[in-house]
Amino acid sequence: MTVKVTQPSFGEGDTATMGVELVNSGDETAYKGTLEIAHPPGLTSRPISYETIEPNITYKREVEVAKEPDMLPGSYPLVLSLRFHDSNNYPIYMIFDSALVIGEQSASGVHGELSNVNLPTDGSRELTLKIKNADDETHKVKAKIILPGGLKADKTEETVEVEPQAEASVDYTISNFMALPGSDLLVIAAIEYDEDQRHYSTLAKARVRLEQKSERPMFLLMAFIVVVLLGAYYHLELWK
């Protein structure tokens, strides 16, 4: 699935129109889709519903969005969440990133990096967010991890103080909730702060790949075979 957003332009009011284009880039029809705003929390709209999402068809919709009156001017991350069902009626979750500007755009001096993760279907892994402050002043930022509904984390948000020209990190423990083996999912970290009556933000993105159930047993089997062959070779050398 791919999603393209025409961001809302609020002007002087608190409501605006947002355009959304959804394309099923796979080769199977999806059913009972729902697309909605996952972030920022001050932005709301009615969910967009799709009875079916056929392959290679562009679904164009417009929806009215509202912002809270006290949202500061500046740049915000805009994240949309999509839920749909496959032909077996199993729910699948995805997220998509875009941007939102209220008033005038702001440039953040804080940047982030997320690590990619291979995640066991029935286990957990650590996801590390590195936060780098390129400015000459300290920033206190909110680091929020945004996951598709098929994954879960031990925490979703942490406040971090980052010194000038310095780096900090946040570790999240993520685990599978109901994502299918073999899924390759986008995860997002929103790093935001308010200063001088303006809002600043940046995004860090990574991929979480759900291992196939057969991957780990196959690895163990191959490792066992290698050990046996090395042992046999060692004993044959002893008998020479």
Burial classification of residue 208, based on how many CB atoms lie within 10 Å of its CB (0-12 exposed, 13-18 middle, 19 or more buried): buried
**Single-letter code of the amino acid located at 240:** K
Distance CA 15, CA 58 (A): 26
Residue-range domains of the chain with CATH: 1-105 (2.60.40.10), 106-213 (2.60.40.10)
Q: According to the model, what pLDDT value does residue 11 have?
A: 82
Model pLDDT for residues 121-142, shown as the tens digit of each residue: 888 999 999 999 999 999 999 9
Weakly modelled stretches of the chain, pLDDT under 70: 213-240
Instruction: Calculate the average pLDDT of the chain.
Output: 91
Q: Which candidate, 22, 7, 17, 101, places its Cα nearest to that of 65?
A: 17
Tokens 């979480």 correspond to 208
Model pLDDT for residues 155-164, shown as the tens digit of each residue: 999 999 999 9
CA distances (Å), 177 to each of 14, 18, 119, 153, 184, in order?
36, 31, 11, 10, 14
> DSSP per residue over 74-108, as a string?
EEEEEEEEEEEE-TT--EEEEEEEEEEEESS----
